[in-house]
Amino acid sequence: MKGDVALDIRGLSAGYDGELIIENIDLRVQEGDFLGIIGPNGGGKSTLLKAILGLIEPMKGDIRIYGDPPQKGRRYLGYVPQYTVFDRDFPITVQNVVMMGRRRMKGIRPWYSMSDKDAVKKALTDVGMWEHRRKHIGQLSGGQKQRVYIARALASQPKILLLDEPTASVDAKVEDSIYKLLTELNREMTIVLVTHDIGIISSHVSNVACMNRHIFKGDGKELTEEMLQESYQCPVDLIAHGLPHRVLPPHEKHD
């Protein structure tokens, strides 16, 4: 129910092959939140998501998803990765791509049930792609493919949707439409989205945090100067929403 703690992270440190990438992360996400995590490339945002998903083991600290550790709590999660690589000539339809999101519910059954098919139909309808269900995935535009990948995550009927740079490869118009879609989906589920684009995000999320190895969180969706400078390690100016958005760091000139 709304108000429950969906995701609780305490003192988390994690990385790869003994190298620390994120350190001492404390983060609590309430059910119904739409949390945007921003920060520079290489700041550990994807590593944080992998730790939540249980794909890497924490070096220190604790992660709880509705009170469960990741290995058990990931049944509550839907995940949209940053890059989805596929063979454009592989004969798979939009509907079959989304059906992959039902695999963990299928178990050892060699067929998909009517409830699987209903979940796929709802997911594709929710993202506005049901009419394209019989198309080859390679026929779609970049924005349409991204909606299909979101639908694949939704097909598992998650309580929390995790997205890693979902608008990295689309233009500004498509980016805005995807954020509007996520705002609609937030009525039914908790959303955690990571990105390096600080421009449009605060117009749609309910809470925002900055991340660069550590996490810096304020109250609500206000991006303070202190949060941005801690994350980007340089002065940052924002251009108003509705115009092109960039991080503008007036670095000192070096020889």
Is-contact 22 13, C-beta < 8 A?
yes
Q: Are strands 160-164 and 190-195 parallel, antiparallel or unpaired?
A: parallel
Burial of 214 (0-12, 13-18, 19+ CB in 10 A): middle
Full-model pTM: 0.85
Mean pLDDT, the chain, rounded, equals 85
Provide the residue count of the chain: 255
Alpha-carbon distance 37 to 34, whole Å? 10
Percent of the chain exceeding pLDDT 70 equals 79
Give the domains, in start order, of the chain with CATH numbers: 5-232 (3.40.50.300)
**Which DSSP symbol is given to 157?**
-
Alpha-carbon distance 41 to 22, whole Å? 13
The pLDDT assigned to 167 comes to 85
- Residue 8, pLDDT above cutoff 90: yes
Note the pLDDT tens digit of each residue in 115-124: 999 999 999 9
Alpha-carbon distance 106 to 57, whole Å? 27
Q: In this predicted structure, which of 8-12, 101-105, 176-180, 188-192 has the lowest mean pLDDT?
A: 101-105
**Could you tell me the two tokens for 79?**
């995940």
Note the pLDDT tens digit of each residue in 128-168: 999 999 999 989 998 999 999 999 999 999 999 999 998 88
- Residue 197, pLDDT above cutoff 50: yes
Burial of 209 (0-12, 13-18, 19+ CB in 10 A): buried
Alpha-carbon distance 40 to 122, whole Å? 35
Q: Three-state SS for 79?
A: strand
**Which DSSP symbol is given to 187?**
T
